Structure 1
Amino acid sequence: MVNEIPGVNMAELRLRGFKVHELPAYVEVPAVHGRRDFYKMGLVTGEMTIGYGGEILELNGTVLFFVNPRVSRSVVRRSVNTTGYACIFTEAFMPPIVKKSPLWNAAENPMIPLNKEQAAFIRGMFQKMMAVHHSDYSNKADVIKNCIELVIHEALSIQPPGRSPQTGAARLTHLFMDLLERQFPIEHTAAPLKLRTAQDFAAGLAVHINYLNRAVKETTGRPTSVHIAERIVAEAKALLQHTDWSIAEIAYALGFDYPSYFNNYFKRIAGVAPKSVRFENHK
């Protein structure tokens, strides 16, 4: 399954809400991760090519990384001696600081390069989390949360937020992308998606729709409507693959008045019908 991680018991992760582990020295390539419903941060040394949110990122050296569960990603490992640690946790387990931290912002590069001293400190924090994770201490979850917060604070001190060029167009695009991502994942059908058009987002950001469209096109090279459509379809695929909701329920959850509208929309963007995605996933 796409949703599995080498060396990680997924049932235990969902039960406890967190998992700390040492990265395996070698994983067959490519290791396609896709979308998952948990946050991840880690320390890794090695060489690899990472696909993250439509971008290709090259890793060479030691970096601290933060993975947003809403962003699709894949990893192609180019080194058999990659080393490091990872901490994975669900949104329910997540410390409050994570919700406010820009480190998981979908519009940002998820990797922060580290020097030897910084890497040594972060490595010590992960080793501490691993030791606590495997101990019998009854309050281990609280210690893990404290360690996560310390890593976040250290990361912010190394590389403060605001890494993207802060032109007017880039800033507005950043806000648009952040507002788009905040709507996901869809967790139940009772609260359907509210922002579905460029006009909806322009109103939410208190700007004229022409200004928003021009800023997003200038910064990303693609229209606002394309970003919205692709993100809605990506969420639809995730719901088709990872839930037992009917196609009608998914349609309503994504803000479509009628399942037929959703079917036509999905097929126009994805090139296949929703039932094809569900059928392929359950072969």
Structure 2
Amino acid sequence: MNYFCHALVSYFPQIMESLEEFYQYKFGGIAGQLNMAIGQFNVFRIEDRARRDTPSLVHVRRNFYKVMLYIGENVFHYGDESIKVKGKTLLFFHPQVPYSYERVEQGTTGFFCVFKDEFYQENFRLNLGDLPLFAPGVPPVYKLNEGQYKEAESIFQRMYQEIDTSYIYKYELIRSYLNQLLFMAMKLNPEHTHLEHADAGTRITARFIEMLERQFLIEFSTERLLLRTPKDFAGKLAVHINYLNRIVKKTTGKTTSEHIYSRIASEAKILLKHTQWNISEIGYALGFDDQAHFNKFFKAQAGMNPTAYRTDI
């Protein structure tokens, strides 16, 4: 990432970092061969990067996926949560949720790979967004025992070795290795990754959740949420509001309004914690006409007003 882009991301922390900027910032550029590869996949050893790696202090969404196999101790800031990681851990990060992490300590080992969504748009019957592994609200952290770690390490080692070969089908082979990691994680936590039967109600609920998530790619304080009520979403989904409320409640156990309010409150915490926007700007971006209404909403959701929350961080 050049100086201007890095400064801009620091000033506007909701800007999405691209994979090209990641390579520029971390490595000073991107190899031509890699740039032409579908999805710009690459894999690295953490210990090779730790000596010169910097903390991901900018809390932003990225336009790429990242999978990490980690042995060490660190804190990852994921959405509005701070997750302490210790020991053998498999982590998944995707473009819908902003994240950052603290400095990688010496002695930390493992692997990480990065790739764009396009990496899965050929020769694979599922889009990554369809996998429950990347569903909203699913924690991205999977603790591993010794046997599970050895299995994941073996998969990463094969990807790491394959990336430097001239084999014409190497990316198809690497994709198969990555599939093993994805499905390994879903088997580790089946209660969070169960694929429900895709009936009409489930499909509408999934579309509602996806639509709710996608509108939170807020980059500037002058932008506003457009969909804030069940009626707004029902109109976009072309269903009656009573039907939407009924099937969302039946499918998820939470009302449509509860989903919306919870997600707005979560985004408010992210903006309060990771931007320098004032309270009025944050309230405006989240669709509130004045600060008093935003303060009342936030206190009802978080138990304190926005100023007190920001002070306590």
TM over 0.5: yes
Is 1:201 the counterpart of 2:233? The answer is yes
CA distance in 2, matches of 1:70, 1:99: 10
**Which amino acid is the alignment partner of residue 100 of structure 2?**
S
Aligned match of 1:74 in 71, 81, 100?
Answer: 100
SS in 1 for 2:233: helix
Q: Which has the higher contact order (CA 8 A, sep 6+)?
A: 2
1:20-59 correspondence to structure 2 within 5 Å: 20-23=43-46, 24-26=49-51, 30-33=55-58, 34-59=60-85
SS in 2 for 1:92: helix
Residue 81 of structure 1 and its aligned partner are, at CA, apart by 1.5
Change (3 A) 1:97 1:163: closer
Per-residue displacement from partner, 1:20-43 (whole Å, max 9, x unpaired)? 111123456642252211111120
- Name the residue aligned to 1:103: 133
Change (3 A) 1:184 1:137: farther
Contact 1:125 1:151 in 2 (8 A): yes
Per-residue displacement from partner, 1:202-232 (whole Å, max 9, x unpaired)? 665700799432x348xxxx5565557889x
Instruction: Figure out how many residues of one structure are paired with residues of the other and give that number.
Output: 223
1:87-126 correspondence to structure 2 within 5 Å: 87-94=113-120, 95=124, 96=126, 98-126=128-156
Per-residue displacement from partner, 1:144-176 (whole Å, max 9, x unpaired)? 111111111211222214279xxxxxxxxx966
Change (3 A) 1:111 1:157: same
Q: CA RMSD in A?
A: 4.0
**Which amino acid is the alignment partner of residue 96 of structure 2?**
R
Per-residue displacement from partner, 1:164-194 (whole Å, max 9, x unpaired)? 9xxxxxxxxx9665442256769xxxxxx99
**Which amino acid is the alignment partner of residue 157 of structure 2?**
Q
Aligned match of 1:133 in 142, 163, 174?
Answer: 163
**Which amino acid is the alignment partner of residue 114 of structure 2?**
I
SS in 1 for 2:114: strand
**Which amino acid is the alignment partner of residue 148 of structure 2?**
Q
Is 1:156 the counterpart of 2:181? The answer is no
Contact 1:198 1:224 in 2 (8 A): no
- Name the residue aligned to 1:212: 256
Contact 1:30 1:75 in 2 (8 A): yes
Residue 101 of structure 1 and its aligned partner are, at CA, apart by 1.3
Residue 83 of structure 1 and its aligned partner are, at CA, apart by 1.1
Identity of aligned residues (%): 26
Change (3 A) 1:49 1:92: same
CA distance in 1, matches of 2:267, 2:286: 15
- Name the residue aligned to 2:198: none
CA distance in 2, matches of 1:99, 1:161: 18
CA distance in 2, matches of 1:9, 1:107: 34
Change (3 A) 1:124 1:101: same
Per-residue displacement from partner, 1:35-93 (whole Å, max 9, x unpaired)? 21111112011000110011110001111111011211110136321111111111111
CA distance in 2, matches of 1:78, 1:69: 22
1:201-240 correspondence to structure 2 within 5 Å: 201=233, 204=237, 206-207=244-245, 211-213=255-257, 215-216=258-259, 225-226=264-265
CA distance in 1, matches of 2:52, 2:74: 11
Runs (5+) with no aligned partner, structure 1: 165-173, 187-192, 238-261, 272-283
Change (3 A) 1:11 1:157: same
Contact 1:31 1:76 in 2 (8 A): yes
Residue 107 of structure 1 and its aligned partner are, at CA, apart by 1.2
The runs of 4+ residues in structure 1 deviating greater than 6 Å are 228-231
Contact 1:43 1:62 in 2 (8 A): yes
CA distance in 1, matches of 2:119, 2:193: 28
